[in-house]
Amino acid sequence: MPDVISGFLMWIHFQADTEPPQLTIDYTPWTPDSTGPGARRRILEYSTQMRVTLSALPPELQRKLLRLGEYAIGHINLPEIDVAGATVRGAASLVYYQVTAGPRLHVVYRAARHDDRSTECTVPISSAAERLINNIMPMCEQLAWDHLRERLGAPGGRTETKRKVYLSYRKGGPERLAFVTAIAERLGREGFLPWFDEWEILAGDSLPREIGAGLENVYGIVVVLTDDYPGERWAREELEGAIVQRIERSIKVVPVLYEACERPTLLQSLRYVDCTLHEADRFEHQFLQIIDALNEIELNPYR
């Protein structure tokens, strides 16, 4: 049986002082290990580094990498010194930064203009910076997936237009959010474009406008069902929009049962993916059912 790649052990290096700036992604594929729940085994044979110039990256990733660099250099606190009666302070310039597991943000900088000597430090990460990093790393992971597929000649590389999959769910506790986030991340790895409100809607955005834009031209909708799902206004509107599009455009609607609950009438005729057992070793099988539905996999081998 082939090893199923489920993700990467990964760190990134952003070189800011070159022209053009350059991103390096160091990745090692991993596969679930049978030694215990959640155990991973690294596949070192396919470990590598990929390098991409800043201008060749998606614009949203360019902006986030540059913003993280600004955050890093903003936390370099250079001392004031007295030079012949004048109080002066150096202006730090970024050489590079690295983001490693944790996450940890390691920075190398120069303390003065035209300075050949560089200094390094680890910068503390605020909650906002951690959210920025949590945006950057899945985008880099998608680049790693595309790079691995291209290296090995596997299908499913980056295309100009990805099929958008909308995630409809009712907000709840951190465990539920982690479950929906995991679905969004895996959809991205499989070459879909997940529409996940945590990644799409900012403070001050219009909810009706953003939800309407999210439902435009979708390929599929994954509905995560919970006991409180029908009672939330936006969830109801998303569900009604999903059913209308299923009728008018024959899009895929995949109900996912997160917990034992009564399914909405509009979805009772559809087969659902049972995810009521929240165990790490079961998620892979549950996720494959979601992807098979979106990929319209034929289950009957004799048809």
Q: Domain boundaries in the chain?
A: 7-128, 162-294
- Position 244 scores a pLDDT of 72
- Position 154 scores a pLDDT of 78
pLDDT digits (tens, 9 = 90+) for 22-58: 999 999 999 888 777 678 899 999 999 999 999 999 9
Measured between alpha carbons, how far is residue 13 from residues 52, 131, 147, 184 in Å?
11, 18, 16, 25
Select the more confidently predicted residue: 295 or 107: 107
pLDDT band at 233 (very low <50, low <70, confident <90, very high): confident
Contact at 8 Å (CB) between 252 and 282? no
pLDDT at position 217 over 90:
no
- Non-local CB neighbours of 257 within 8 Å, separated by 6+ positions: 225, 263, 272, 273, 274, 275, 276
- Position 248 scores a pLDDT of 65
Select the more confidently predicted residue: 126 or 269: 126
Burial class (CB in 10 A: 0-12, 13-18, 19+), 135: middle
- Position 159 scores a pLDDT of 47
- Non-local CB neighbours of 52 within 8 Å, separated by 6+ positions: 22, 23, 25, 143
CA 125 to chain centre: 19
Mean pLDDT, the chain, as a whole number?
87
Helices 127-152 and 174-189: crossing angle in degrees, nearest 10, is 30
pLDDT at position 303 over 70:
no
DSSP 91-155: --EEEEEEEETTTEEEEEEESSTT----EEEEE---HHHHHHHHHHHHHHHHHHHHHHHHHHT-S
- Position 239 scores a pLDDT of 74
pLDDT digits (tens, 9 = 90+) for 93-152: 999 999 999 899 999 999 887 778 899 999 999 998 998 998 899 889 989 999 998 999
Question: What CATH architecture is 162-294?
Answer: 3-Layer(aba) Sandwich (3.40)
| Residue labelled with tokens 């700036």 | 21
E strand or H helix at 174 = helix 174-189
Helix/strand/coil for 235: helix
- Position 14 scores a pLDDT of 98
pLDDT at position 157 over 60:
no
Helix/strand/coil for 284: helix
pLDDT above 70 covers what percent of the chain?
Answer: 94
DSSP label at residue 56: G
- Non-local CB neighbours of 238 within 8 Å, separated by 6+ positions: 166, 168, 211, 215, 221, 223
Closest CA to 290 of 266, 260, 241, 257: 257
The mean pLDDT value for 161-181 works out to: 89
